[in-house]
Amino acid sequence: FIDEIDSIGRKRGAGLGGGHDEREQTLNQMLAEMDGFETSEGIVILAATNRPDILDPALLRPGRFDRQIVVPLPENEERLAILKVHSRDKRMGPDVDLEVMSKATPGMSGADLANLVNEAALFAVRRGSKQIERIDFENARDRVVMGARRESLVLSAEEKRATAIHEGGHAILTVVLPNSDPLHKVTILPRGMALGVTWSLPEERHTYSKEYFDDMICRAMGGRVAEKIVFGHLNSGAANDLEQATSIARRMVREWGMSEAIGPMAWSGSQQVFLGEDLMTQGREYSDETAKLVDSEIFRILHEQEARATEVLLKYRPALELVAEALLERETIDGAEVAQLVQASLDHVQVTEDAHIE
């Protein structure tokens, strides 16, 4: 078994130097051994890679690695089964719901899930508990995905309120937009490089609609827009949100044909030289005029969704204040409570309007 076969099996002649380096010599020798004049019955050669697209074609010819088996990341039901396997010899509290946790861990591998259960057990031990409870799984997932909690970070009252408003904007849009994934929880506890996080529970799907991506961009704009509505100015806290929104908008225009002005055309993303592509093959695949049109479409999508986020959050301004107050008081609230606060603010507005009418 050869792991990370791409380290020696990259396409020959794809490097910057183009010389006959040690890697190519290793590949040539391996190919010769796999062909070989001597018999090698009973020996099966297996290899693994995350980048089959950069392997040398000679490796994939019949008689060599002629059968490819794709091992994707586990889906929801598979993650649930893996969590059950790693949890069976551990004492679980009555509030632990592995189905919820499997939905909350999309993109995790089997090793990630094993690590998640072990981290949850460590959190339980630190609490002095004899069983793993839901809070331990929540803390473990936050640590695995976002990093350790930054206990030493002290925010000023102004920064803490700005973070609460920012995350409140994300949370409200997640609840009210029609194509959003269900909201799981929102927190203003700093983890990793983030001062706060809004978590969703994405459904298992393999295709995504334009409306889904529109709502993703709108949600990403929610923190920035909420701060602008409440404080009247912007800060640097939305950098990651803008990066995510711009990336989605760019792919909508360039790869997924979701722009009326561009139409059904697709251009691949930029290739990295260190992944085996020749530097001389780099270059844009379209004219300067088309590049301007692509940029203008990305600009349009981002500004349309920012305006949409502004309209929604102005309508739900009372709910934004309620969510921010709850976050400042308790630091973490779940999606159901955010939905209740949104509904309570709507009911209050309706009662006030009825009183004015009378």
To 10 degrees, the CA torsion angle through 75, 94, 339, 305? -20
Give the model's confidence band at 292: pLDDT under 50 very low, under 70 low, under 90 confident, else very high.
Answer: very high
Sheet holding 183-187, edge to edge: 197-200, 183-187, 332-334
Can you tell me the distance from the alpha carbon of 327 to that of 315, in angstroms, rounded to the nearest whole number? 20
Task: Read off the pLDDT of each residue in 229-236 and give the average, rounded to a whole number.
Answer: 90
Count CA atoms within 13 Å of residue 58 on its CB side: 16
Please provide the distance, in angstroms rounded to a whole number, between the alpha carbons at the two ends of the chain: 80
Q: What is the pLDDT of residue 220?
A: 95
Task: Read off the pLDDT of each residue in 298-315 and give the average, rounded to a whole number.
Answer: 96
Q: What is the pLDDT of residue 157?
A: 87
Q: Say if residue 134's pLDDT is above 60.
A: yes
Those residues whose C-beta lies under 8 Å from the C-beta of residue 159, and which sit 6 or more positions away, are 195
- In order of start, what are the domains of the chain with their CATH numbers? 6-60 (no CATH), 76-146 (1.10.8.60), 157-353 (1.20.58.760)
Q: Say if residue 273's pLDDT is above 50.
A: no
Q: Could you say which DSSP state residue 187 is in? A: E
Q: Say if residue 357's pLDDT is above 60.
A: no
Residue 167 catalytic?
A: yes
Short-list 44, 52, 59, CA closest to 12: 59
Say how many C-beta atoms besides its own lie within 10 A of residue 24's C-beta.
17
pLDDT tens, residue by residue, 72-120? 889 989 999 999 999 999 999 999 999 989 988 888 899 999 999 999 9
Number of H helices, E strands in the chain: 12, 3
Q: What is the pLDDT of residue 284?
A: 64
Short-list 258, 281, 257, CA closest to 271: 281
Q: Say if residue 222's pLDDT is above 90.
A: yes
Task: Read off the pLDDT of each residue in 9-34 and give the average, rounded to a whole number.
Answer: 73
Set 138, 167, 277, 306: catalytic member = 167
Can you tell me the distance from the alpha carbon of 196 to that of 155, in angstroms, rounded to the nearest whole number? 12
Those residues whose C-beta lies under 8 Å from the C-beta of residue 258, and which sit 6 or more positions away, are 210, 213, 252
Short-list 127, 29, 126, 137, CA closest to 79: 137
Q: Say if residue 269's pLDDT is above 70.
A: no
List, as own/partner pairs, every contact residues 83-90 make where C-beta atoms lie below 8 angstroms and the sequence separation is at least 24, other chains included. Answer: 83/113, 83/116, 83/117, 86/113, 86/114, 86/117, 86/118, 87/117, 87/132, 90/117, 90/121, 90/132
Enter the tokens of residue 160: 């803490």
Least confident of 40-44, 88-92, 223-227, 328-332: 40-44
Say how many C-beta atoms besides its own lie within 10 A of residue 144's C-beta.
17
Please give the model's pTM, rounded to 2 decimal places: 0.76
199 neighbors 167 (Cβ within 8 angstroms): no
Q: What is the pLDDT of residue 128?
A: 92
Q: Say if residue 191's pLDDT is above 60.
A: yes
SS3 state of residue 183: strand
Can you tell me the distance from the alpha carbon of 31 to that of 35, in angstroms, rounded to the nearest whole number? 6
Angle between helices 335-357 and 317-330 (to 10 degrees): 140
Can you tell me the distance from the alpha carbon of 85 to that of 88, in angstroms, rounded to the nearest whole number? 6
